Structure 1
Amino acid sequence: MLCRFYAFCFVVLVWAFPSQAEQDTLVISTIENSPLTKIAEIIMTQAYERLGIPVEIYPTSGNRSLVISSSGKVDGELVRIGAVKEHYPTLVQVPVPNMELKGVVYVRAADKDQIVTGNLAKLRVGYLEGIVQAEQFTQGFENLWAGQSETELFRLLAAGRLDAVVSDQIDGALAIAELGLTDVVPLGRPFQVEPMFHYLHEKQADLVPQLAAILAEMRGSGELEKIVETALEAMITGQGHPSAD
């Protein structure tokens, strides 16, 4: 009976998580349906290539990504804000930023003069589930909607079913472009600008200094900035998803 139980658990794990074709392949989880994470994927894939380590990116919901990365079921978290290390001590931060997150509130253009940051708490506000920055910003808000994708949130906003969407500058701009929205605008300047980092589960902590050195080199040479600019241009002009090639 015990053998059958372990066999069942093995089958469940194989089904639930991406396979590692080789022992040295790292599986990195990330938030699904986010253009920002697509860009981070290019950056980190190139960084790992310089170490000779293949990586497999596993997109899932924001909350589940943190659960499986912090528990060691996968090897790390692709890109998160700095506060993550305070709440998930098993995730070790690579201390060189790989992206920058600019938090922005989006509203319908017709409502821009009536909405200010101070009255958002009483309005219908949407954000992408599992985004720590958005969860912190909307803490105490009365009427929240946690969406599964940026396009879902911006469709609801354009249709008048949400009053505002809390997003980041990259994901927001791309969702607006993808949906062809002309009546959705930022509510002023970004409410927060902060660096984002790659995280590894503590079992892979030995790789942190090497990755930090590589990212520092890429940042210093301007390569990171160039990757972001090229990927954004490809997305906005409809040339398809960016690639790591």
Structure 2
Amino acid sequence: MTDGDVPALDDPVGQSLTGRHAHLARHFGRAVSYVPDVASFCAVPADPDAADWNDLAKLLGPGELADLFSAPATPPRDWEPVFHMEGRQMVWSGDIPPVPEESGTAVVELGARDVPEMLDLVARTRPGPFRRRTHALGTYLGIREHGTLVAMAGERLRPPGWAEISAVCTAPEARGRGHAARLITAVAARVTARGDRPFLHVAEANTGALALYERLGLTTRERVTFRGFRIP
């Protein structure tokens, strides 16, 4: 089976919310979204009708953001566009290399007690949406220097058979030391150890991250557009 034959990756948000992340979902009709303190992503069926859009509006509420992630469905005309960003969906096409070693630092697992530090790191580095309970989506790993969290990466979307690597970020003062590569590899190793395959999304404009992912062995499955709309 080729990557193009895997429909789970065509709708990673919807497939996650109706599967492994069902316990983190809220529903109204055929519309579904993550609970607000976990993630902003929402989904409608691949062939939404007016009733589905109405259900999503009721689920999220007037004036709220409908973060459709990479879904191609077009919402009603009176939904105001908030963001539009070109990107890629990438998959790991080969074996996961050994996690690089570095003296003086170790890759550690992060949890609820680390959330304040995780949120501070995200605020300083802006890797993408990350909320108070985003860590509940999967395993998050980090690297500390002198006791301070300076880099992290973890799992986000979990469609059947796959796990998305996300929240890859390094504090400005700790860049250039290979932390991102170590963490991405460590997360990918955990994903494959349980029988899943790693994938990720990246903005087309983030050329540095794109080059790193390709160097590690990730290949582009398809180009996507990330979109968000304001509900009237």
User: Which structure shows the bigger proportion of residues in strand conformation?
Assistant: 2
Q: TM-score range by the shorter chain?
A: under 0.3
Give the TM-score taking structure 2 as reference length. 0.23
